[in-house]
Structure 1
Amino acid sequence: MAASAAAVMEELRGSFREGRTRPAEWRTAQLRALVRMIEEKEDDISDALHADLAKPRMEAYLHEISLAKGACMFALKGLKNWMKPDKVPSAITTFPSTAQIVPEPLGVVLVISAWNYPFLLSIEPVIGAIAAGNAVVLKPSEIAPATSSLFAKLLPEYVDSSCIKVVEGGVTETGALLGQRWDKIFYTGNGNVARVVLAAAAKHLTPVALELGGKCPVIVDSNVDLHVAAKRIAVGKWGCNNGQACIAPDYIITTKAFVTELVDSLKRVLERFYGEDPLQSADLSRIVSISHFKRLTKLIEDKEVATKIQLGGQTDQEQLKIAPTVLVDVPLDTELMTGEIFGPMLPIITVDKIEESIAHINAGAKPLAAYLFTKDKKLQQDFVSNVSAGGMLVNDVALHLTNPHLPFGGVGDSGTGSYHGKFSFDCFTHRKAVLIRGFGGEANARYPPYTAEKQRILRGLIKGSFFALILALLGFPREKR
């Protein structure tokens, strides 16, 4: 496998060195081809997502297919301007000169994607890599085999396979790829694998973007429109892969006085969304695999946890389904509360005053997303100012990632680097500093032998003295040629 990975790298490196990926025409052609692929193969993509996750067609379209196409269209619209050098002011010490920042592709990049949104999380980084002019290898997740296989089949039919390749497989294949020298690695997944990726990248000093996760909190104040808040929380939790999403709410914080009202509202909303028997609902995604199913059911079988269930908790191993489950005041030292859940359980923590919730969030690792529902402007201001998270949203959940003008990424344990929109282009681009001078404007003061007079002029130049600039350009102090 190592030899195969090396052969892939050699071919892509050759294509990049030949300059195939640099022209705007090549980039545009690949992006347009991806749009055609998404449009023409929408049914196949939906079928693959259903095979991997039992994902409803509406959810597949809204959360993956439409967003992927939108990312392509946004890149096509902005690419010409993104590729232009940025002109910047020159310094007095380099007068006369021009200065600019030139965006250039990094080279050959590796995208390792995740299983929970296997189409979107694969194709969107690839869109950024292509727009930036790179050759790219996509390694889809083997845990979503139908989508992985579809990529391996479709991409060579639509894009330039001498510059864009798909490598399928599991741990062995991923390890072989990580053994190569990449110009950047983009990984979406969990922190444990991220450490393996970083260790491999360190051997070649390869830059890495990590899109991870964490325990995304939701603060719910008592002054909200509760029915609207409950609907938005519910669809953001269970309407996103049944909780198997990095930005899905992981837990709620509310007051002791308000928790009963909140639980009752969630119960009404969930029954409306998924019926009295959610395990039979076609609108609820299944758990991705038996191993993940067993991990999740173990969390709520804990004696300290099971007694805290207020709603749900039903499971069906044959279907790999777990009902939306709401719990209240689970002990904070249980596994449910210490690790990222990545499933349909939504614990609620109660506090005496809602302002205490900010300190609770800050006591843990920085989340990928943080959410607040309130009408209190001061609480909103305190939340935005004092909570560190990859991104945040007030009075809704998850929708911030749909705005291509906002960067999407983590901070601390939830990741490093960002993408979406132009940020995807920037993620795979080196911003090269370029200074251009002619042969005039010689300042003799910069050359040896160094004298007190030259030092005075140079100090003046560094301080931005126009008088010192004039003296320098006039050749003072005079020197023999």
Structure 2
Amino acid sequence: MNTWHNLLDELNHTYHTGLTRPVSWRKQQLQQLRQFLVEQEAPLLEALRTDLGKHPSEARLTELQFLLTDIKHTLKHINRWAKPRKVGTPMLAWPAKSELVPEPLGTVLILGAWNYPVQLLLAPLIAAIAAGNCAIIKPSEHASEVATVIARHLPDYLDSAAFKIVTGDVQVSAELTQLPFDHIFYTGGENAARSILAAAAPNLTPVTLELGGKSPAVVMADCDLAVTARRIVWGKFLNAGQTCIAPDYLLVESSVQDQLINALKRAITEFYGDEPQHSDDYGRIIHSQHHQRLVGLLEGQTIAFGGDSSGKDNYLAPTLVTNVAADHPLMTDEIFGPILPIVPIDSANQAIEIINAKPKPLALYAFSKNQRTLSQFTRHIAAGNVCYNDTLMFMLNDEMPFGGVGRSGMGRYHGKFGFDTFSHLKPVMTRRFILDVALRYPPYSKLKDKLLSWFS
């Protein structure tokens, strides 16, 4: 523990020297991070292939290119984000100027996740750098090859006085979260999130939690079934289903359930062939423990498609399941794998009732050509993020925040929203010495009360 205390003290000292304050320094660090992603692309792609079986094209799209776009967007807008933001001033305080001054939080801790081990570690770091913070970042130990590449090469690019990479198991994470950081940013599961909140509580350390949950996809009969099926299959089975915003279960109007299942089968075969285990485009489950859990969920279930598995390489086929009991773990717990339960519904209202009976999801998907139906979902379902007639694609929009609500997470980031998460927007009012109106000073009177209520 003393080692981590010393590391935090070192970074706090760096922060108080003012090194991270100039926007020019922040830009230079972001450019260095971009250089790391470009120059170390090959070892990163190889590590992602080893850890998760990710095809290089998928890894580029969802990990490296995502980050490069985020850096480009941040570099373009950081000057404006870092400027004081003028706000109005009430008449009673005239003459005065009021503004919100973005101020770095200090030294922050970023705990990455294993399912997108590059993106989910470095995207929060982009925001932390842009806001002017020092940081300790810890890659997930489960994506060990990626953690090795990052720990070996990233220090060659970033300022070592301001940024430290720590590797290790869950015990290391537990020790780090007990330290008095100025902010902790965690991406991962609900159980670990509870431990992190408990560890942060004695220091009153603010925490951002990017979690998950059961994200539903509702398919109405009036949608384009072929397009819908392709988009669901892509969003669900990308990274072998190990995506926090992947559709976790389908609610399908019963009149088109059979048609949709057939369209889903065709899309799976189109994407991954007749034998997905031999497809270079299909990933693997992160480790044997998670693989065994997923295979166990299929015991006794009605498998409409897939279900094949192999413990040798942690393979589980894209799998469609029907006739799932409402109280089965497939319908109560986050699956986080390539298993898609399909549940028939009679109406949009029934879908809303089913979704609202569960904790608020991280993402909501619905497919329909009827704007009234989609608006009904927007009005009546609370979700961290919503995407209609597609899956996952909202993540590409740098102008929109990403984050959960309720048990799917707290706090948000991406673009300006990430900058603000790692900033304190310090309110500053500057008054002038002229017009020192005495109405607010004692002795008070009914006339002063009347005048003050008029000016307020």
TM-score by length of 2: 0.98
> Residues of 1 paired with 2:23 and 2:61: CA distance?
30
Q: CA 1:328/1:443 → structure 2, altered by over 3 Å: closer, same or farther?
A: same
Alignment partner of 1:358 is 2:357: no
> Residues of 2 paired with 1:19 and 1:349: CA distance?
56
Q: Which structure 2 segments of 5+ residues have no match?
A: none
The correspondence of residues 49-448 of structure 1 with structure 2, limited to 5 A, is 49-238=48-237, 240-301=238-299, 303=300, 305=301, 308-448=302-442
Q: Structure 2: which amino acid aligns with 1:128? A: A
Offset of residue 453 of structure 1:
3.9
* DSSP 3-state at the match of 2:289: helix
Percent identical pairs in the alignment equals 43
Q: Structure 1: which amino acid aligns with 2:355? A: I
Q: In the alignment, which residue of structure 1 is the partner of 2:11?
A: 12
> Residues of 1 paired with 2:210 and 2:277: CA distance?
31
* DSSP 3-state at the match of 1:431: strand
> Residues of 2 paired with 1:54 and 1:452: CA distance?
76
* DSSP 3-state at the match of 1:149: helix
* DSSP 3-state at the match of 1:258: helix
* DSSP 3-state at the match of 1:101: strand
Does the Cα contact within 8 Å between 1:254 and 1:354 map onto a contact in 2? no
> 1:82-138 CA deviation, whole Å, 9 max, x = no partner?
001111121111111111111110111011110000000000000000000000110
Does the Cα contact within 8 Å between 1:108 and 1:135 map onto a contact in 2? yes
Q: Which residue among 422, 431, 449 is the counterpart of 1:455?
A: 449
Does the Cα contact within 8 Å between 1:112 and 1:122 map onto a contact in 2? yes
> Residues of 1 paired with 2:447 and 2:362: CA distance?
57
> Residues of 1 paired with 2:91 and 2:401: CA distance?
34
> Residues of 1 paired with 2:349 and 2:427: CA distance?
46
Q: Structure 2: which amino acid aligns with 1:212? A: L
> Residues of 1 paired with 2:304 and 2:369: CA distance?
27
Q: Structure 1: which amino acid aligns with 2:269? A: E
* DSSP 3-state at the match of 2:221: coil
Q: In the alignment, which residue of structure 1 is the partner of 2:44?
A: 45
Deviates more, 1:175-184 or 1:347-356: 347-356
> 1:152-210 CA deviation, whole Å, 9 max, x = no partner?
11221001011011110112211111121011111000110000111111111111111
> Residues of 2 paired with 1:157 and 1:326: CA distance?
46
Does the Cα contact within 8 Å between 1:372 and 1:380 map onto a contact in 2? yes
> Residues of 2 paired with 1:335 and 1:100: CA distance?
50
> Residues of 1 paired with 2:207 and 2:222: CA distance?
42
Does the Cα contact within 8 Å between 1:355 and 1:379 map onto a contact in 2? no
Offset of residue 353 of structure 1:
2.7
> Residues of 1 paired with 2:123 and 2:447: CA distance?
59
Q: CA 1:452/1:224 → structure 2, altered by over 3 Å: closer, same or farther?
A: closer
> Residues of 2 paired with 1:99 and 1:255: CA distance?
54
Q: Structure 2: which amino acid aligns with 1:351? A: I
> Residues of 2 paired with 1:231 and 1:435: CA distance?
54
Q: Structure 1: which amino acid aligns with 2:271? A: F
Q: Structure 1: which amino acid aligns with 2:61? A: L
> Residues of 2 paired with 1:252 and 1:172: CA distance?
37
> Residues of 1 paired with 2:260 and 2:348: CA distance?
14
* DSSP 3-state at the match of 2:261: helix
> Residues of 1 paired with 2:213 and 2:136: CA distance?
27
Offset of residue 226 of structure 1:
1.3
> Residues of 1 paired with 2:362 and 2:421: CA distance?
18
Offset of residue 461 of structure 1:
2.6
> Residues of 2 paired with 1:132 and 1:93: CA distance?
33
* DSSP 3-state at the match of 2:274: coil
Offset of residue 446 of structure 1:
2.1
* DSSP 3-state at the match of 1:336: helix
* DSSP 3-state at the match of 2:304: strand
* DSSP 3-state at the match of 1:440: coil
Alignment partner of 1:27 is 2:26: yes
Offset of residue 354 of structure 1:
4.0
TM-score by length of 1: 0.93
Q: Structure 2: which amino acid aligns with 1:372? A: A
> Residues of 2 paired with 1:353 and 1:457: CA distance?
58
Q: Structure 2: which amino acid aligns with 1:319? A: D
> Residues of 2 paired with 1:313 and 1:184: CA distance?
42
> Residues of 1 paired with 2:306 and 2:453: CA distance?
73
Does the Cα contact within 8 Å between 1:315 and 1:322 map onto a contact in 2? yes
Q: In the alignment, which residue of structure 2 is the partner of 1:466?
A: none
Offset of residue 273 of structure 1:
1.1
State which structure, 1 or 2, has the greater radius of gyration over its C-alpha atoms: 1
**Paired residue total:** 456
Offset of residue 351 of structure 1:
1.6
Q: Structure 1: which amino acid aligns with 2:451? A: I
Offset of residue 448 of structure 1:
2.4
> Residues of 2 paired with 1:456 and 1:345: CA distance?
68
